[in-house]
């Protein structure tokens, strides 16, 4: 993953680089580093852990130089320590890198034979030495061009040179990179978000391109080193404020913000006066589409799975769902009448982007459901449905999940109506319920104390299971993912009906099992599956919706009842207690809730 920043200015740059790195920490927080040029030398300071550690380092506080590069790392090659932290430098070149160099072992062998000495275990260091090697005989443009041609894999790079005190080089293949323009200074950044406090004038590099950033202008080159012209985009200049308010963690705030996420989404897409859904500028005729494939990773994949259930219920389309890292390397049968939907909060996830790219190469119809509308996936998809949940800071996705499934539900309803798979009456009834959803979520958010008190049981157990059928199955997967991600305890999501085919063997006395059994068509079946785990000693936390009918079951350990609404919408409500369960479990353990170990918010490596 990793985040890159570069500034070429006529003022000292180190503190601005450090502040920008803080904004990039969502890309990685294993280590951070900075390099500047001053008095004809490359100065480099790196530290393990968060950007805060780097900032506290007195060497950074006294760092001089009006040109510099910085980096936050998510380790791929080599453990997360200060030696492997970026920048990596030789005597005359310093490099920051996001991505993976797949042929680094071969290149290293070649360079060692030429007498180059390596200090770290990273793949990045080969780039430093390759450039240094080429610079012995070539100018900058040729050295960069030749270096990039010999690299296999993905990269975004920021490079400074001891003997070129007036420029930064940026280069991109696979990993995103943006150039920003300021008054008498110019910038390089992994995304426009990191640059937003400095400028709203941006150029995105395309794959294969590189650039030379000077204080007063920027030159762009294609992969053959030929100069090219690029457009400057003007982004909205309003910068969102990010603070936790009275909350202890961003995650807690983001969970509570979910009614607003839903209201925003509903206001954007639901035409309340005409009792309709507006999907403006939908670029295809509905009869051109007979199947739909949804693709995403992690939580976004769970959103895709959720959408499959709704689309199958509300439309007669053929629907399939894929994990992006699997889809991108499988032998896919691309169908002309298929719409490919890419779901991503960040819009930068490398696997999801690669899947999109593959579909584009095969001339498929592509639609993105994203939160960050300036992201690569949004920019490169034919059609975009924004989530409108505002910036999500917590690594564990919460409000973006609800935002994604809301948009996918709205899309399912509209497609159902367009294709006449549902009639106007059913559509109107479902729309009426949807408008009430934010209030239902608000009420469900009030269920808190019980979850806090039972969360410890999940931490103490060897593992736990999350079971659901039908609409509740994707939510069971999401609940288990949240718990693993935040509390580092083993948790498995399973279709409740599958337990008897193997996983039932895991159940032993006292094992916590969450059973999602809302009063929908699957209710009775799920309750039977619940009995099967109770009979084998499981401690069942049943999550259902409020109802007049008593649950005919004994020996349930705990029960949580969410609000009642139509069956389509219950997944939104069931999600809330699961998010809180994961939050409180991690809180009890004293873990870093907003930045869980080994993870990053935006996964820009494959
Ligand atoms: O930005 P994306 O939605 O594409 O990210 C996909 C996953 O990396 C992400 O949902 C991840 O699983 C979350 N950390 C889960 O909470």
Question: For residue range 136-178, what is the model confidence (pLDDT) as tens digits?
Answer: 999 999 999 999 999 999 899 999 999 999 999 999 998 889 9
Residue 345 alpha carbon to ligand 1 centre in Å:
7
Q: Is the pTM of this model over 0.85?
A: yes
68: its two tokens: 């510099």
C-beta 345 within 6 A of ligand 1: yes
Orientation of helix 399-418 relative to helix 570-589, angle to 10°:
170
Strand duo 164-173 + 210-213: pairing: antiparallel
Q: 223: buried, middle or exposed (CB in 10 Å: 19+, 13-18, 0-12)?
A: middle
Active site residue 2: yes
Is 511 a residue whose pLDDT tops 80?
yes
Instruction: Give the pLDDT confidence score for residue 605 in this predicted structure.
Output: 78
Confidence of residue 445 (pLDDT cuts 50, 70, 90): very high
Is 241 a residue whose pLDDT tops 90?
no
Taking residues 540-555, what's their average pLDDT? 86
Instruction: Give the pLDDT confidence score for residue 175 in this predicted structure.
Output: 85
Instruction: Give the pLDDT confidence score for residue 552 in this predicted structure.
Output: 66
Confidence of residue 550 (pLDDT cuts 50, 70, 90): confident
Confidence of residue 230 (pLDDT cuts 50, 70, 90): very high
Instruction: Give the pLDDT confidence score for residue 80 in this predicted structure.
Output: 86
Return mean pLDDT, the chain: 94
Active site residue 462: no
553-570 pLDDT, tens digit per residue, is: 778 999 999 999 999 999
Taking residues 291-303, what's their average pLDDT? 98
Residue 303 alpha carbon to ligand 1 centre in Å:
11
State whether residue 260 is helix, strand or coil.
helix
C-beta 104 within 6 A of ligand 1: no
Residue 538 near residue 463 (C-beta atoms within 8 A): no
C-beta 377 within 6 A of ligand 1: no
Is 237 a residue whose pLDDT tops 70?
no
201-218 pLDDT, tens digit per residue, is: 999 999 899 999 999 999
Residue 178 near residue 192 (C-beta atoms within 8 A): yes
Structural domains in the chain?
A: 3-234 (3.60.20.10), 244-435 (3.40.50.10490), 446-606 (3.40.50.10490)
Instruction: Give the pLDDT confidence score for residue 194 in this predicted structure.
Output: 83
Taking residues 587-593, what's their average pLDDT? 96
Nearest protein CA to atom 16 of ligand 1, as residue: 396
Is 239 a residue whose pLDDT tops 70?
no
Is 242 a residue whose pLDDT tops 80?
no
Instruction: Give the pLDDT confidence score for residue 75 in this predicted structure.
Output: 86
Confidence of residue 399 (pLDDT cuts 50, 70, 90): very high
Sign of CA dihedral 456, 459, 465, 466: positive
pLDDT: which is higher, 291 or 237: 291
Is 283 a residue whose pLDDT tops 70?
yes
C-beta 300 within 6 A of ligand 1: yes
Please give the Cα distance from 517 to 525 (Å, whole number): 9
Taking residues 326-339, what's their average pLDDT? 92
Is 573 a residue whose pLDDT tops 70?
yes
Confidence of residue 571 (pLDDT cuts 50, 70, 90): very high
Residue 385 alpha carbon to ligand 1 centre in Å:
18
Residue 296 alpha carbon to ligand 1 centre in Å:
8
Task: Estimate to the nearest angstrom the gap between the alpha carbon of 100 and the chain centroid.
Answer: 18
Average the pLDDT over each of 104-118, 188-202, 416-430, 454-468 and give the range with the smallest value.
188-202
């Amino acid at each position: 993953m990793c985040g890159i920043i570069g500034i070429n200015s006529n003022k000292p740059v180190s503190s601005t680089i450090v502040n920008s790195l803080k904004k990039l920490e969502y890309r990685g927080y294993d280590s951070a580093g900075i390099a500047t040029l001053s008095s004809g030398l490359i100065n480099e300071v790196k530290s393990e852990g968060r950007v805060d550690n780097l900032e506290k380092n007195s060497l950074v506080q006294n760092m001089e130089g009006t040109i510099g590069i910085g980096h936050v790392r998510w380790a791929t090659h080599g453990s997360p320590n200060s030696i492997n932290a970026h920048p990596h430098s030789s005597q005359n070149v310093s490099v920051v890198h996001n991505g993976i160099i797949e042929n680094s072992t071969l290149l290293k062998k070649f360079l060692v034979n030429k007498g180059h000495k390596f200090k770290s275990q990273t793949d990045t260091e080969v780039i430093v030495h390759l450039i240094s090697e080429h610079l012995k005989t070539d100018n900058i443009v040729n050295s960069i061009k030749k270096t990039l041609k010999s690299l296999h894999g993905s990269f975004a790079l920021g490079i400074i040179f001891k003997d070129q005190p007036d420029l930064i080089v940026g280069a991109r293949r696979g990993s995103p990179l943006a150039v920003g323009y300021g008054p008498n200074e110019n910038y390089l950044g992994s995304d426009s978000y990191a640059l937003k406090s400095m400028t709203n004038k941006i150029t995105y590099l395309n794959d294969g391109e590189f650039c030379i950033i000077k204080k007063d202008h920027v030159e762009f080159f294609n992969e053959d080193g030929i100069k090219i012209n690029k457009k400057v985009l003007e982004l909205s200049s309003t910068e969102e404020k990010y603070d936790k308010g009275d909350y202890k963690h961003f995650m807690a705030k983001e969970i509570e913000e979910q009614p607003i996420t839903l209201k925003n989404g509903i206001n954007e897409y639901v035409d309340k006066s005409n009792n309709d859904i507006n999907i403006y500028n939908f670029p295809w005729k509905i009869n051109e589409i007979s199947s739909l494939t949804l693709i995403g990773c992690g939580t976004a994949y769970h959103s895709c799975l959720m959408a499959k259930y709704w689309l199958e219920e509300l439309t007669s389309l053929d629907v399939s769902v894929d994990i992006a890292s699997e889809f991108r390397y499988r032998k896919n049968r691309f169908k002309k009448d298929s719409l490919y939907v890419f779901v991503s909060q960040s819009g930068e996830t490398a696997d999801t982007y690669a899947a999109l790219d593959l579909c584009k190469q095969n001339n498929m119809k592509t639609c993105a459901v994203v939160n960050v509308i300036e992201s690569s996936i949004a920019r490169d998809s034919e059609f975009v449905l924004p989530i409108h949940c505002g910036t999500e800071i917590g690594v564990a996705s919460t409000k973006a999940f609800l935002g994604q499934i809301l948009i996918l539900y709205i899309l399912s309803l509209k497609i159902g109506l367009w294709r006449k798979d549902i009639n106007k009456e059913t559509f109107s009834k479902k729309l009426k319920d949807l408008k009430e959803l934010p209030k239902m979520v608000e009420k469900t958010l009030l269920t808190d104390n019980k979850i806090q008190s039972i969360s410890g049981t999940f931490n103490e157990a060897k593992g736990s299971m999350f079971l659901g059928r039908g609409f509740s199955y994707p939510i069971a997967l999401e609940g288990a993912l949240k718990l693993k991600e935040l509390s580092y305890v083993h948790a498995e999501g399973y279709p409740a009906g599958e337990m008897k085919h193997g996983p039932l063997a895991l159940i032993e006395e006292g094992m916590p099992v969450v059973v999602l059994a809302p009063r929908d068509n699957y209710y009775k079946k799920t309750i039977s599956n619940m009995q099967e785990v109770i009979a084998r000693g499981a401690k069942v936390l049943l999550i259902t919706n409020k109802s007049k009918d008593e649950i005919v079951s004994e020996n349930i350990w705990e029960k949580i009842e969410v609000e009642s609404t139509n069956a389509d919408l219950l997944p939104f409500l069931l999600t809330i207690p699961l998010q809180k369960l994961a939050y409180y479990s991690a809180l009890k353990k004293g873990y870093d809730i907003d930045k869980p170990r080994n993870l990053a918010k935006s996964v820009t490596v494959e």
